[in-house]
Structure 1
């Protein structure tokens, strides 16, 4: 079973190291919204290990949260490979103004849940005092 260790994103290139398989996958693809965006370049990096580098196209940068998948596609899979293969890693990109609105909504939801928990704890404490 191959293992991908992400080395992060720098200068628009996602880098990492793939270890484990005797042979590298036929292709390693960068996928977003079931669309292949790019193919990664694999170079040998020791025994049963490969350096993986994939350039992110500018089209992935937009407001909100974008999730990219890195998938290893086995030999013999041709054509639409977005559903084939194994997902090695996920990369989430967060940018833009909608993020502020998303965070505000998330904080409001957490506050509401916290108020509910506080109310229930107070009710339980009152029940224990009354018993």
Structure 2
């Protein structure tokens, strides 16, 4: 089992569970290389910590957006950027609005369609 398990996004809050014996350091949510929020951590029992990070609405836009959760050992009043040596814990990828033409999902759908055409043609040739 991974140390951090994402519990999903609901009402703009990304939640997860961190499993370890010691409390985590400062947790920072990063988007496009810039820190956007500090995550809240609450104990959930022995060796379990619930992590909650609010996704800022101004960071949502069309296309694919990826938010990264980092842990560093800086104090909460330290500068907002992750300190050198910060540890990546998890990522949340969101797809919103109009998808980009070169989006991986669109490419996969295209490949599947082309594969179906090839299969049909091979079956036709095998019948003849």
Match of 1:91 in 2: 92
What residue ranges of structure 2 are gaps of 5+ in the alignment? 119-128
Structure 1 runs (4+) deviating above 6 angstroms are 113-116
1:44 corresponding residue in structure 2 = 43
Q: How does 1:1-131 map to 2 (within 5 A)?
A: 3-20=3-20, 22-73=21-72, 75-76=73-74, 78-79=78-79, 80-81=81-82, 84-96=85-97, 98-99=98-99, 101=101, 102=103, 103-108=105-110
8 Å contact 2:26–2:74 — kept in the other structure? no
SS of match in other structure, 1:23: coil
Give deviations 1:29-61, integer Å, cap 9, x for gaps.
Answer: 110111000000001111121111111100221
CA shift, 1:6, in A, is: 1.0
Give the drift of 1:25.
2.3
Q: Return the index of the structure with the highest Cα Rg.
A: 1
Whether the 8 Å contact between 1:15 and 1:53 is mirrored in structure 2 is yes
TM-score (norm 2): 0.73
Task: Name the CA shift for 1:68/1:76 in 2 (closer, same or farther; >3 Å).
Answer: closer
TM-score normalized with structure 1 length = 0.72
User: SS of the residue aligned with 1:47?
Assistant: coil
Q: How many pairs align?
A: 122
Instruction: Report the aligned-residue RMSD.
Output: 3.2
